Amino acid sequence: MITDFGNKDWYVAEMKLMIRSLCDVEIVDITHEIDEFDIDKAKFLLLQANRIMPEHSVTIAVIDPGVGSDRKSIVLRSGNKYFIGPNNGIFDYITDIKSECFQIKEETFSEVSNTFHGRDIFAPLASKIICGENTDKYITPCECRGKGMKNPTVKDNLIIGQVIYIDKFGNAITNIDHTYYEDIKRGNIIFGEEKIEFVNSYSESSGRSAIFNSSGFLEITSYKGEYSENLKIGEVVQIEVRRHM
């Protein structure tokens, strides 16, 4: 489960109880600490969920400022992994040419609240899928169109990326992935107006530095977050990696 519900209220517990009442299944909390309505942050976390969740898993994503409106609800199948949630862009990074999309027939669910589709639609449907029930009654095929994650721009001797996520430690994760490793290792990394060094571990960092994280993305870091105070979640920062010709 991925939500912006936080842990102060009962919403997460109510969704889990709904699922458990319908199917005996293990529930993994990926996070409930997404900032309220932050669809861009949800996109990146769903990309990580697609990477780490096992085959035949079902991930419910509830970041849903349009709940109760005419926005549609969908099931996305990526390989043998399923994702359920609102069709508001949160699945952009995991929707590709191989994905299958299904629109949820919301009218087939009884006693649906206009404010809590996570409990009344997504949780029951996830239970049906994970327990192997036939779901043809509840979904119908629809077109999949995901914008995808923006790729770095490669121009002359520059690779220009941007920060797409900032984690709780203040690490600014960029859209530059490990395919650029050799260029970055021998190049000059410019972050804003500052030239920073490339390191192989967080403890090597003195001031701001760059490192490839465990997900394979270049991130701007500082040891124990010492220099992260000027970075804000959602802020777009350009990073230039200067390549030797």
Domain locations in the chain as residue ranges: 2-142, 153-242
What's the mean per-residue pLDDT of the chain? 89
Helix (H) or strand (E) holding 19: helix 11-22
Check for a shared fold between 2-142 and 153-242: no
Each residue's pLDDT tens digit, 195-233: 888 898 988 877 888 899 999 999 988 877 665 666 654
Superfamily of domain 153-242: Bacterial fluorinating enzyme like (2.40.30.90)
pLDDT one-digit tens code per residue, 83-139: 999 999 999 999 986 789 999 999 999 999 999 999 999 999 999 999 999 999 999
Q: For the chain, what percent of residues have pLDDT higher than 70?
A: 91
Section 176-203 average pLDDT: 84
189 within 8 A of 203, measured Cβ to Cβ: no
Q: How far apart are CA 102 and CA 75, in angstroms?
A: 5
CATH classification for the domain delimited by 2-142, as one of 3.40.50.2000, 1.20.1330.10, 3.40.50.10790, 3.40.50.1220:
3.40.50.10790
